[in-house]
Structures are given as C-alpha cells and as structure tokens.
C-alpha cells in the first residue's frame, strides 16, 4: 500500500494531479468521446455468433405453408374487430379452441394518472385472450410465448392471423418440449403488463386484473409479432425494453441466422446493413444505428410489446414487418417459416439463454459491441469527476500553501459550517422531490385555474417547478456561465436528444414540432413511470435535477 | 444537554416510525445486507411459533438466536433498543471525555508535553458537543435506521455492547462483566472485548500491567471470575428455560462452522461456497482465528488507551465476523466523532468515504442484477463486498495511524527534526 501510506510518493502524486488537472480532464473527455464514436467503426467490432450450444445448427427444414390461409383469416379478424368495436373476444376464443388450444381470457382495467394524448386513452378496460398448446409428452414446466397485439384500426390484423395459423400448424407437430402460449393482448403494453402480472402473481403497477385461469410453467422466451400488411419488404428487430434492458444477444443472433437462411431482408432501427464500412457514409450509417440504440435505451420506454417480459428474466424480442418501396417482397408463408424456425430453436433450449451478452450495442445486425468495449468510454468520462473531486479535496486540505502574500489573503481557511452547506443540498433535493410528486398530484388544481387539459397541466407544472428551481439572486458578471449552465441542463439535453433522434430516423422536424414532441416526451415519461415502472423519470427528477440545481447554486454562491 | 438529546431521540423515533408504517418495511426486512440468518426477525417469529407448538425452536435449522425468553420479553424494546444504545453511548463518551480532559490537565501541569504540540491538545469547548454528535451518528445513520426498521436483533446486540461500554467507563466491574457475558452469550465475538475492558479497569485502579505483579493477577482473576461466572449462569438459565442443550450447537456451532452460505456483506460466504469439504475445517479455523487474533498485538500496542482499543475491536469484529450486517457497521461508526481531533492526521478519509458510499449504493443494484435480472452473477456481488470490507479496513487502519501519530507527536513534539536539525517526515512502513 505504498501509495496510500508513503508521504513522499503521495506528495508527488497529488502535486502532479493538481498541476495537470485540467489537461488530463480535457484529454479524458475527448478520449471518451472518440472511443465511443470509434466503436461504430467496423474493424473495432466483433461479428455476432451463436453462443448457446443448444441453438447451434440450423439444419432443420421448415414446412409451414399456410400463409394464404393466414391472410384470409386476417380479413375475417378485421371484420369481427370492426363489428365488436374492440377486441373480438368470442371469435378469438372459438378460433383458438377449434385449433386445439386451451383458451383462457383475462380482463383488466387501469385508470391512467392523466389522459394519454398520443394514444387517446384515459380509462382503459380490456381483455387478453391466450391459448396454450400443451407439449404432448413433456412435463408442463417450461413455456414459450408468441404474442401479437390487437390494435385498433387496420394495424396488426395479419399478425393475429399468422399467430392463429402458426397455432394450427404447431398443433400437428410432435417435437414440442415446452408449452407454447399464443397471446393476443389488447391495449398493447397495458395488456401485456396485466397478463405478465397475472402470470407471475405480482402487482407492481397498481393494475386491476382478473386472475389467470390457465398457466404453463416458467416462460423461457417470448416473441412479439407486429405485421400490418399482406406482403412485406423487410423485418425489423426491436430489442430495447423497459428501462433500456436488452434480451440476450443470442435472440438477435437467432433472428439474424434465420433471416439469412430464408433470404428475408432484416433491419435494425429500421436501417439496412451496408457493406462499405471503409467509406464515410458507411461509418456514419453504422454510427447512426448505434446512436439510435443508445437513445432508445436511454429513454427507458419499452419500444415493443416484448419490453415488459425482460423484467421477469424472460428473453423477448419484437419482430416488426415493414412494407416499403423495394422490389423484393416476402410473403406471409416465409414469415411463418421464420417464426417456426425460431420457435423450434427456442424449443431446444435446455436452460434459459445466458451464454451470450446481456449488455451490448449493435451498429448493425451482424456486428456487436459488448459492455467490455463500451464501458471504458464511460469510465473515462467518470474519471473526470473523480479527478476534479480529488483536486478540490487536495486544495481544501492544503490552504497553508497559498500564503505567499499573507497580507491580502485575508480569507479564513476554516471550512464553513455544515449547516451552510447542508441548506442548498436539502433545498435542491426537496425541489427534486417536488418535481417528482407535484405534477401528477396538482393537475386538478391546475385544470381549475388555467384553461388547459390535464395532460398539458401535468407537463406545464413540471416545467414550472423546473424553472422555479432556477430562481436565485442573479449576478450579471456570471451571465455567460449562467446561459451555458441552462443550455446544459437536463431539460435542454432532452430537447437536443429529441431533435437528434428525429434526425437519426431521417424525419427531421422544425423547431415548433420539436417543442411539441418534447412536451409529449415529458408526458410519456411520467406515464411510463406510473404504468410500467420505468425509472427514467424518477432518476431525472430525484437525482440528476438536484445535482444540476446544486451546480447552479454554486455558480451564484456569494 | 438533555434537551438536544431528547430532540434527537424524537426525530430518530419519528423517522423509524414513518419508515415502519410504509411499504418499505417489508422490503428492508428481506435485504441480505441488513439481516442475516442469525438475527432476522422472521426467524425469531418462526422460533416462537415452534415453541408455541411445544417443539424445540432450534429444530429445523431456522432459528439461531439465543434465549427465546429474552427475546420474547424484550421484543417490544427492539424498537427502543436504538434509543438505549444512543443514550448509553452518549453517557459513555461524556465520561470518557471527562477522563481524557482530566488526564490532559495533569500531564500539562507536570509539563510532560513538548512546547510546540500545544495545538494538538483538546479544549472543553471542542469536546462539548462530541457526546451529542456520537448519539446523532448512531441514531441518524441510515444503516442503523435500516437495521431497526427490519427489526433485526442486531439492535439488541448493539444495545448490550453499548451498555457494557457505559458500565466499563463508569468503573463498575461487576455490571461490566455481566453485560459482557450477555453480549458474548448472544454472539461469541464480544469475547475479544474482555481484554480492553480489563486494561481499562487496571488503568483506572492504577494497577500496572506487569505479569509478575500479584495485584495484576488478583484483579484479572476477579474480573475473569465475574465474567465466566455470569456466562455460566446465563447459559445454565437458558438450559433450564428450554430444557435442553440444543441451543449450543444451533447458535454457537452455527456461528463457528458457518453452514449457511446466504450472501451478506461479509467475507465468508463466497469463499466457502467454493470450498471442497476436505479443506473446510482448515479454512474455518483460519477465518475464525482471524477475528480473535488481532486482540493480542492491538492490546500490547494500545494498553494505555483501552477505549480506543474497544473501538478497534468492535470494528474488527464487525468486519471479520461470520455473518456481519450493516447494524454492526453502524455501531463502530458511531464512535468516529469521538476521534474528530485526529482529523488532521487522517490520510485516506476521502477515498474511504467514496468507497463506502459507492459500495452501499451498489449493493442493491448488483443484487438485483444477479438475482432478478440474471445478467450478473455472484462474482459481481462479492466484488462489492470485498470493496466494502476493504474500505472499512482502510478506515480503521487510518484512524489507528492517526491516533498513534498524535501520541507520537505528544511525546516527541509536533515538528520533528532529524539528528542534524532538518525537517523529518513520519513514515509508516
């Protein structure tokens, strides 16, 4: 422990630290940014590979052929959906029963804390319908889930129909070792959350649901299907789940392997992989894909119905069919074969997917960056905080060194009392707590006094509390620093991220549209936290915002 | 000083009551960092239920606490045990400060301090608020609050040790022996506190620690007799209350042989999870000797400073015992304001605080990642455990260094000069 106890070496090291502090910090910052952006450069990434032994070979021939039947079923489902004005529960139950599944329903209801303006719902009531295909000769200990959402309007009819066609096909096979649950959920994420909570006997989000009558053992993996057209040009894989949790990389590898085998075009973040990694456009394409993944994980939302499964240690991914302008079209039979292949592979699993990485970034579907490669970049950024703190500590502990002109240096090196330091800390944290609790609780009062809707009231209250925290006596000499601080505040960072995200998905927006998007992002964040337990809003309100407020305090310290 | 202490007690009780009523109480009482198989309240309830059914509470390997009746009688005061500990610590530090100041005064009058180390001496003004700060450090420590809300019997253990310290400092050998026997009876490790208590009494009665003097042996035997006698009586009482010797293998055998490898903040579980049966006994002995061994060199070095020795011993027990929890950590941390005059000699306090804070924040995160998310494994959690214990060891050794350095300065002067008159630096090798 020479470094910690030898005073000569300590003095040398601390001297080095204080002299070179700013240059080292700048170098670390730049190194961190360059490292992170360099990760998208293809030679620095690794090719994806199948880690799980049980999912190794793809030598099986897929025989699913009822794509056309699925499409006609989609029209039938659409007609019944329109007639029922929501989920056609009886038709679905009959359809599943005629295919030999054990069918059960679950009703749920949830009152949102304030109306959701994006999806236009406030008091949500719905029914989930699920059918269990029992494995013929296996004990009922493990299960797989295939789910398709029942969405209003024209969307996802083909997904539900393909689900039913697959169910019929699977029923005739003898090789199933796990039970397969075919779930059709209503009201997308809310329905999935109700089903999962009912399945696992938990109640973490205050949902009211009827208990599930039928169960199938512990769920090993889940696939969510979103298909809205008869033919598609590509399949998009969605991995990001709640709180940025990702499924095991083996699931993405599985999807990619099957897309290669069946000749289906596959994309991630909606972007197709390019071959020209040595050009600038190739690199920027990969960097954009990676940054999109980072942004999607950072916002903590679940970007597909699969996202809520991850919390229960169930590996899940969403497969979304996209119909755009390309020559080569893929029909429903091929998609059915893809799903059949994936589910057969998952059927072979002896234990949960755990061999491959849980934390990774994908610049493209065949290349990945694991946590061991991207964490050092964050480590370099975090080291800056440590170096600055050590520098301040060393300066605090050695005031006698600055007594060159002892006459003019009249400031007492004695530390200020604990109370003077504690007051801003407590006030910052209390403001953070207010930012977390008050917007939802004060919405009735705000609606009474101001001509706004409840959602707008919540968002505007949040913004009001946020800016109220800035109310401090001003010092015009520090105006420039103040402006820079405000431009780097958490709210503005979210605003920049909104604009950057729109740029990355190639749908840039104007300033006013961006502002409206920003407001809806805030309301969605608060809703996600209340409905599914996303942690981004509490993290921002209770940790990041008080820290920023303390910095703001220090700026105007007199 | 009664008013601030009462106010502090009221605030502490309010915080605990609020947390107790909220939904967090259940969550906290299941956290492995706060409760261990030895002191979980769930297990006490199980033991009581077994006793009600007429079966020995120690059957089924669930209950590992001692003397049910003691717990049953005192269970209502588990919530008040924090208050008892705080008041006991307050009074003991007050007595200790008075002793320290009196000794300093005599040393000043007899001119035993070199001229330049007067700034190291302590003044009554600076020492006035220390007892209150000690009580505050114990009551408002998040570790203590968590331990109390979880109703862990660690609070009771802390209360008994605090009362033991109070009785020792007040000079009552009989009560101190009995309380030490009670503490040892509950978990064996306070046995090592026998040495500092003995040294304190010898110092107080002006008996020099000389193995050849009969007065030394006379007093030692007296104190040992009180201690061992109380221990025998209490153990015998347990036997008569429950009618069997079951509790000895269930409690003491459990503490020594560490059969339950539930993860906690200690060092035993991971190691013994990977141990082959062949070597188990050897490593058990090594690990357990580790706890008791430091008593000997520390007592030799700190024989003039028994109260600091008590602090060091409690710290070593809470780091190296077989099933530590954060409640044990909170007990020795409460003493830190008593050594606030050593601040100028502490070298690693920044690093230690950062390490302890970061580890306390990371414990629940890595537990979640291991058990619930399945993305991590036991190695991650053990890494944080190791780091936490490293931070604690660094804290204790830093205070030890600072204490010895201050004593050195008090005898040799603050500005050290080498033989040729140039400035010297003190290096701990």
A529: which 2 tokens?
A: 């936290």
- Give the residue-averaged pLDDT of B169-190: 92
- Interface contact flag, A358 B373, Cβ < 8 Å: yes
- Interface contact flag, A5 B351, Cβ < 8 Å: no
pLDDT at residue A418 in the model: 73
CB pairs under 8 A between A and B: 31
Contacts of A254 (CB under 8 A, 6+ apart): A50, A55, A342, A345, A346
H-run or E-run covering A238: strand A234-238
- Give the residue-averaged pLDDT of A236-257: 93
Pick the residue of B353, B374, B393, B401 with the most A CBs within 10 A to test the interface with A by mutation. Answer: B374
For B374, which of A4, A5, A313 is closest by C-beta distance? A313
- Give the residue-averaged pLDDT of A143-158: 92
For A4, which of B347, B375, B426 is closest by C-beta distance? B347
Confidence of residue A408 (pLDDT cuts 50, 70, 90): very low
- Interface contact flag, B347 A6, Cβ < 8 Å: no
- Give the residue-averaged pLDDT of A59-72: 88
pLDDT at residue A199 in the model: 95
Confidence of residue A401 (pLDDT cuts 50, 70, 90): very low
For A313, which of B348, B350, B372 is closest by C-beta distance? B372
In tens, the pLDDT along A503-537 reads 998 888 899 999 999 999 999 999 999 999 899 99
Chain B residue at shortest CA distance from A249:
B375
Quick one: chain A helix, strand, coil %, rounded to 5? Answer: 55, 15, 30
- Interface contact flag, A8 B425, Cβ < 8 Å: yes
- Interface contact flag, B425 A7, Cβ < 8 Å: yes
- The β-bridge relationship of strands A218-226 and A315-322 is parallel
- Interface contact flag, A4 B351, Cβ < 8 Å: yes
Q: Cβ distance B327 to B155 under 8 Å?
A: yes
A9 CB neighbours in chain B (<8 A) are none
Q: Within the 199-218 window of chain A, which residues sit less than 8 Å (CB to CB) from chain B?
A: none
Tell me if residue B198 falls in helix, strand or coil: helix
The torsion angles phi and psi of A206, rounded to 5 degrees, stand at 75, 30
Q: Cβ distance B88 to B165 under 8 Å?
A: yes
Q: Does A7 touch chain B (CB under 8 A)?
A: yes
Instruction: Report whether pLDDT(A407) > 50.
Output: no
Confidence of residue B290 (pLDDT cuts 50, 70, 90): very high
B96: which 2 tokens?
A: 């200790």
pLDDT at residue A410 in the model: 43
Q: Pick the more confident residue, A57 or A206.
A: A206
A307 CB neighbours in chain B (<8 A) are none
- Interface contact flag, A4 B348, Cβ < 8 Å: yes
- Interface contact flag, B350 A313, Cβ < 8 Å: no
- Give the residue-averaged pLDDT of A134-149: 91
Comparing CA positions, the residue from B192, B196, B163 lying closest to residue B179 is B163
For B350, which of A8, A10, A393 is closest by C-beta distance? A393
Pick the residue of B350, B354, B364, B395 with the most A CBs within 10 A to test the interface with A by mutation. Answer: B350
- Give the residue-averaged pLDDT of A173-178: 91
A10 CB neighbours in chain B (<8 A) are 347
- For residues B229 and B235, give the distance between their C-alpha atoms in angstroms, rounded to a whole number: 10
- For residues B75 and B73, give the distance between their C-alpha atoms in angstroms, rounded to a whole number: 6
Q: Does A4 touch chain B (CB under 8 A)?
A: yes
A257: which 2 tokens?
A: 């392997």
B281: which 2 tokens?
A: 């006994």
Contacts of A441 (CB under 8 A, 6+ apart): none
- For residues A491 and A195, give the distance between their C-alpha atoms in angstroms, rounded to a whole number: 34
Q: Pick the more confident residue, A455 or A169.
A: A169
Q: How long, in residues, is chain A?
A: 558
Tell me if residue A321 falls in helix, strand or coil: strand
Residue A417 DSSP label: P
In tens, the pLDDT along A352-368 reads 888 889 999 999 999 99
Chain A residue at shortest CA distance from B351:
A390
Sheet with A315-322, edge to edge strand ranges:
A208-209, A102-116, A121-133, A179-186, A142-150, A218-226, A315-322, A234-238, A266-268
- Give the residue-averaged pLDDT of A464-475: 75
- For residues B134 and B89, give the distance between their C-alpha atoms in angstroms, rounded to a whole number: 7
- Interface contact flag, B374 A354, Cβ < 8 Å: yes
- For residues B306 and B205, give the distance between their C-alpha atoms in angstroms, rounded to a whole number: 13
Instruction: Report whether pLDDT(B138) > 60.
Output: yes
- For residues A322 and B88, give the distance between their C-alpha atoms in angstroms, rounded to a whole number: 72
pLDDT at residue A473 in the model: 57
Sheet with A367-370, edge to edge strand ranges:
A46-47, A367-370, A360-364
Instruction: Report whether pLDDT(A402) > 50.
Output: no
pLDDT at residue A403 in the model: 40
Chain A residue at shortest CA distance from B355:
A386
pLDDT at residue A198 in the model: 95
How far off is chain A from B394, nearest CA to CA, in Å? 10
Q: Does A9 touch chain B (CB under 8 A)?
A: no
- For residues B301 and B404, give the distance between their C-alpha atoms in angstroms, rounded to a whole number: 9
- Quick one: CA dihedral B90, B92, B98, B101, positive or negative? negative
Confidence of residue A404 (pLDDT cuts 50, 70, 90): very low
Comparing CA positions, the residue from B21, B16, B76, B18 lying closest to residue B44 is B76
Residue B104: count other Cβ atoms within 10 Å of its Cβ: 16
B394 CB neighbours in chain A (<8 A) are 4
Chain B residue at shortest CA distance from A358:
B375
Give the DSSP per-residue string, A8-61. Answer: HHHHHHHHHHHHSHHHHHHHHHHHHHHHHHHTTSGGGSEE-----GGG----PP
Pick the residue of A397, A426, A543 with the most B CBs within 10 A to test the interface with B by mutation. Answer: A397
Tell me if residue B38 falls in helix, strand or coil: coil
Instruction: Report whether pLDDT(B1) > 80.
Output: no
B60: which 2 tokens?
A: 């089924």
How far off is chain B from A354, nearest CA to CA, in Å? 8
Q: The tokens 């949960």 sit on which residue?
A: A352
Contacts of A483 (CB under 8 A, 6+ apart): none
- Interface contact flag, B394 A354, Cβ < 8 Å: no
- For residues A50 and A340, give the distance between their C-alpha atoms in angstroms, rounded to a whole number: 18
For A313, which of B347, B373, B429 is closest by C-beta distance? B373
The torsion angles phi and psi of A268, rounded to 5 degrees, stand at -135, 140
End-to-end CA distance of chain A: 41
How far off is chain B from A124, nearest CA to CA, in Å? 27
Q: Is A158 exposed, middle or buried (0-12, 13-18, 19+ CB in 10 A)?
A: buried
Q: Is B123 exposed, middle or buried (0-12, 13-18, 19+ CB in 10 A)?
A: exposed
Angle at Cα A493 formed by Cα A492 and Cα A496, nearest 5°?
85
Q: Does A414 touch chain B (CB under 8 A)?
A: no
Confidence of residue A413 (pLDDT cuts 50, 70, 90): very low
Q: Cβ distance A103 to A128 under 8 Å?
A: no
Q: Is B118 exposed, middle or buried (0-12, 13-18, 19+ CB in 10 A)?
A: exposed
Comparing CA positions, the residue from B36, B263, B48, B35 lying closest to residue B149 is B35
B351 CB neighbours in chain A (<8 A) are 4
Mean pLDDT (chain B) is: 88
How far off is chain A from B427, nearest CA to CA, in Å? 6
Q: Tell me which residues of chain B have a C-beta less than 8 Å from any C-beta of chain A.
A: 347-348, 350-351, 354, 372-375, 394, 401, 425-429
Instruction: Report whether pLDDT(A420) > 70.
Output: yes
pLDDT at residue A415 in the model: 59
B426 CB neighbours in chain A (<8 A) are 7
Q: What percent of chain A has pLDDT over 90?
A: 56
Tell me if residue A415 falls in helix, strand or coil: coil
Q: Cβ distance A517 to A435 under 8 Å?
A: no
- Interface contact flag, A313 B425, Cβ < 8 Å: no
Beta partners for residue A530, in sequence order: none
Instruction: Report whether pLDDT(A456) > 80.
Output: yes
Q: What percent of chain B has pLDDT over 90?
A: 51
Instruction: Kindly list the distances between the CA atom of residue B270 and the CA atoms of A116, A302, A537, B262, B370, in Å, as whole numbers in the listed order.
Output: 48, 36, 36, 9, 14
Pick the residue of B352, B361, B375 with the most A CBs within 10 A to test the interface with A by mutation. Answer: B375
B119: which 2 tokens?
A: 């700034």
Q: Cβ distance B365 to B173 under 8 Å?
A: no
Q: Pick the more confident residue, A128 or A327.
A: A128
CA A113 from centroid of its chain's CA atoms:
21
A7 CB neighbours in chain B (<8 A) are 425-427
Contacts of B15 (CB under 8 A, 6+ apart): B140, B145
- For residues B162 and B151, give the distance between their C-alpha atoms in angstroms, rounded to a whole number: 18
In tens, the pLDDT along B295-316 reads 999 999 998 899 999 999 999 9
- Interface contact flag, B394 A390, Cβ < 8 Å: no
Residue A443: count other Cβ atoms within 10 Å of its Cβ: 23
A542 CB neighbours in chain B (<8 A) are none
pLDDT at residue A405 in the model: 41
- For residues B34 and B326, give the distance between their C-alpha atoms in angstroms, rounded to a whole number: 6
Comparing CA positions, the residue from B33, B227, B1 lying closest to residue B135 is B1
H-run or E-run covering A182: strand A179-186
A389 CB neighbours in chain B (<8 A) are 350, 354
Residue A446: count other Cβ atoms within 10 Å of its Cβ: 18
- Interface contact flag, A7 B394, Cβ < 8 Å: no
Q: The tokens 């919540």 sit on which residue?
A: A458
B341: which 2 tokens?
A: 């005059």
B181: which 2 tokens?
A: 């026997």
pLDDT at residue A58 in the model: 58
Chain B residue at shortest CA distance from A355:
B375
Lowest mean pLDDT among A18-27, A270-279, B36-45, B69-78: B69-78
In tens, the pLDDT along B324-343 reads 999 999 999 999 999 988 98
- The β-bridge relationship of strands A208-209 and A102-116 is antiparallel
B425 CB neighbours in chain A (<8 A) are 7-8
Quick one: chain B helix, strand, coil %, rounded to 5? Answer: 75, 0, 25
Q: Does A11 touch chain B (CB under 8 A)?
A: no
Pick the residue of A4, A422, A543 with the most B CBs within 10 A to test the interface with B by mutation. Answer: A4
- For residues B409 and A200, give the distance between their C-alpha atoms in angstroms, rounded to a whole number: 65
H-run or E-run covering A266: strand A266-268
Confidence of residue B427 (pLDDT cuts 50, 70, 90): low
């Amino acid at each position: 422990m020479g470094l910690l106890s030898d005073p000569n070496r300590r003095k040398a090291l601390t001297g080095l630290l204080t002299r070179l502090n700013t240059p080292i910090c700048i170098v670390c910052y730049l190194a961190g940014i360059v490292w992170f952006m360099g990760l998208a450069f293809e030679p620095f990434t690794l090719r994806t590979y199948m880690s799980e032994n049980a999912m190794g070979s793809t030598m099986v021939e897929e025989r699913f052929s009822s794509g056309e039947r699925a499409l006609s079923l989609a029209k039938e489902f659409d007609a019944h959906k329109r007639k029922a004005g929501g989920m056609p529960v009886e038709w679905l139950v009959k359809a599943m029963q005629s295919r030999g599944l054990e069918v059960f329903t679950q009703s749920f209801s949830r009152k949102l804390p304030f109306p959701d303006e994006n999806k236009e719902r406030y008091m949500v009531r719905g029914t989930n319908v699920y059918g269990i295909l029992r494995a013929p000769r296996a004990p009922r200990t493990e299960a797989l889930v295939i789910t398709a959402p029942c969405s209003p309007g024209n969307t996802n009819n083909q997904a539900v129909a393909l689900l039913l066609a697959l169910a019929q096909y699977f029923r005739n096979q003898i090789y199933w070792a796990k039970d397969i649950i075919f779930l059709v959920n209503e009201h997308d994420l809310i329905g999935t959350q109700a089903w999962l909570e009912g399945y696992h006997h938990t109640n973490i989000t205050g949902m009211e649901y009827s208990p599930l009558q039928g169960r199938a053992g512990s769920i090993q993996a889940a696939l969510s299907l979103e298909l809205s057209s008869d033919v598609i040009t590509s399949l998009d894989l969605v991995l990001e789940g709640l709180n940025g949790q990702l499924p095991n990389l083996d699931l993405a590898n599985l999807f990619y392997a099957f897309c290669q085998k069946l000749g289906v075009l596959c994309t991630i973040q909606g972007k197709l992989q390019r071959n020209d990694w040595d050009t600038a456009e190739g690199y920027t394409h990969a960097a954009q894909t990676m940054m999109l993944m980072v942004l999607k994980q950072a916002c903590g939302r679940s970007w597909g119905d699969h996202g809520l499964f991850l919390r229960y240690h169930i590996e899940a991914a969403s497969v979304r069919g996209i119909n755009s302008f390309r020559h080569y079209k893929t029909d429903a039979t091929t998609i059915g074969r893809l799903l059949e292949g994936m589910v057969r592979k998952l059927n072979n699993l002896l234990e949960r997917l755990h061999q491959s990485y849980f934390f990774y970034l994908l610049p493209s579907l065949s290349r990945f960056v694991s946590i061991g490669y991207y964490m050092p970049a964050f480590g370099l950024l975090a080291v800056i905080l440590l170096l600055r703190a050590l520098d301040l500590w060393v300066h605090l502990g050695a005031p006698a060194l600055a007594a060159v002109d002892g006459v003019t240096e009249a400031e007492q090196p004695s530390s200020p009392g604990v109370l003077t330091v504690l007051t801003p800390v407590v006030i910052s944290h209390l403001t953070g707590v207010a930012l977390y609790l008050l917007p939802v609780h004060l919405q009735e009062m705000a609606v009474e006094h101001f001509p706004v809707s409840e959602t707008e009231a919540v968002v505007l209250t949040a913004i009001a509390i946020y800016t109220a925290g800035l109310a401090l006596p001003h010092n015009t000499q520090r105006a420039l620093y103040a402006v820079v601080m405000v431009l780097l505040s958490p709210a503005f960072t979210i605003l920049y991220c909104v604009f950057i995200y729109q740029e990355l998905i190639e749908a840039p927006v104007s300033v006013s549209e961006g502002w409206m998007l920003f407001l809806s992002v805030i309301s969605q964040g608060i809703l996600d936290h209340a409905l599914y337990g996303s942690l981004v809003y509490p993290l921002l309100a209770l940790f990041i915002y008080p820290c920023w407020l303390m910095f703001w305090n220090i700026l105007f310290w007199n | 000083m009664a008013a601030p202490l009462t106010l502090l007690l009221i605030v502490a009780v309010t915080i605990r009551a609020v947390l107790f009523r909220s939904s967090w109480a259940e969550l906290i009482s299941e956290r492995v960092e706060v409760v261990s198989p030895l002191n979980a309240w769930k297990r006490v309830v199980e033991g009581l239920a077994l006793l009600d059914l007429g079966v020995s509470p120690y059957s089924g390997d669930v209950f590992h606490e001692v003397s049910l009746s003691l717990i049953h009688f005192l269970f209502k005061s588990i919530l008040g045990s924090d208050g008892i500990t705080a008041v006991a610590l307050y009074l003991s530090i007050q007595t200790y400060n008075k002793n320290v100041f009196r000794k300093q005064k005599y040393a000043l009058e007899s001119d035993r301090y070199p001229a330049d180390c007067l700034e190291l001496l302590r003044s009554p003004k600076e020492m006035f608020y220390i007892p209150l700060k000690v009580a505050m450090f114990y009551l408002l420590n998040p570790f203590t609050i968590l331990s109390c809300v979880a109703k862990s019997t660690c609070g009771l253990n802390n209360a008994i040790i605090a009362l033991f310290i109070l009785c020792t400092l007040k000079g009552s050998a009989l009560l101190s022996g009995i309380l030490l026997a009670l503490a040892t009876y509950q978990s064996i490790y306070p046995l090592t506190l026998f040495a500092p208590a003995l040294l304190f009494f010898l110092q107080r009665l002006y008996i020099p620690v000389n193995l050849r003097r009969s007065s030394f042996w006379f007093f030692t035997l007296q104190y040992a007799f009180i201690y061992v006698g109380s221990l025998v009586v209490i153990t015998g009482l347990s036997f008569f209350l429950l009618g069997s010797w079951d509790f000895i293998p269930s409690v003491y055998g459990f503490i020594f042989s560490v059969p339950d490898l539930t993860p906690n903040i200690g060092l035993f579980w991971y190691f013994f999870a990977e141990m082959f049966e062949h070597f188990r006994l050897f490593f058990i002995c090594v690990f357990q000797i580790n706890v008791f061994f430091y008593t000997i060199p520390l007592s030799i070095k700190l024989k003039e400073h028994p109260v600091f020795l008590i602090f060091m011993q409690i710290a070593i027990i809470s780091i190296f015992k077989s099933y530590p929890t954060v409640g044990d950590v909170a007990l020795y941390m409460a003493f830190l304001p008593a050594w606030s005059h050593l601040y100028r000699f502490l070298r690693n306090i920044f690093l230690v605080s950062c390490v302890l804070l970061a580890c306390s924040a990371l414990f629940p995160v890595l537990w979640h990642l291991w058990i619930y998310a399945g993305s991590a494994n036991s190695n991650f959690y053990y890494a944080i455990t190791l780091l936490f214990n490293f931070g604690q060891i660094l804290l204790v050794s830093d205070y030890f260094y600072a204490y010895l350095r201050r004593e050195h300065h008090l005898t040799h002067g603050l500005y050290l000069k080498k033989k040729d008159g140039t400035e010297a630096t003190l290096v701990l090798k």
